[in-house]
Amino acid sequence: MNNEHKQRWLALGLLVVVIGLFVAVVLVPLITTGWAYHDEKNDLLFRLQRQQKIAARRDVVSQALDAAKQQFQDQAYFSNRDTEALASADLQNIVKTAVTDAGGQLTSTQGLPGKTDNNFTRVAVRVRLTANIETLRTILLTISNSVPVLIIDQIDITPLRGTRNRPNNKVEPSAQLNVSFQVVSFMRGVKS
């Protein structure tokens, strides 16, 4: 009886081991794969919904982008002239007005050859003038705040030589400055 009893317990133990192996080899991987597929499906559904929301906003974003481009065009950051020569003449006129309104003395303006890069043309004017420090500040402020956007480049400021006083033969300093700089503006695509 003892032998039969051991065989029954051994058979029961083998049955538990076989069932355990079946669960470990077949059911556990099947269930974990099902969970992984379920998680992946949920992730893909979330991404799909997000992409659908983005696609639904496409028209709104496109209209906002067009409005921003139009607003940028309306702000006139660039010269709206058709040729480089006309843009240079406008630039010289802006500089002349700024200098004379501030009380400076314009010595010369000279248009410089333009450079085209990435469908933009750089229009530059070399300016020479005489002014005191306050007048120069006003001129530079007026130029830098004007529309279209103007950039002041390569500025060179030197004091004018003072006059000699006859009675004591000393040079009296002058408050005047000799100023040379370039004013640069940009225009879109030149029509030659």
Q: Identify the CA nearest to 150 among candidates 102, 92, 99.
A: 92
Q: Identify the CA nearest to 133 among candidates 163, 175, 96, 100.
A: 175
* Domain residue limits, the chain: 2-70, 84-188
Q: Identify the CA nearest to 96 among candidates 133, 134, 146, 132.
A: 146
- CATH of segment(s) 84-188: 3.30.70.60
Beta bridge partners of 164: 171
What does the pLDDT profile of the chain (192 residues) look like in tens digits?
688 888 888 888 988 988 888 888 888 888 898 899 999 999 999 999 999 998 888 888 888 888 888 877 776 777 778 888 888 898 899 999 999 999 999 999 998 888 888 778 889 999 999 999 999 999 999 998 888 888 999 999 998 877 777 777 777 777 889 999 999 998 876 544
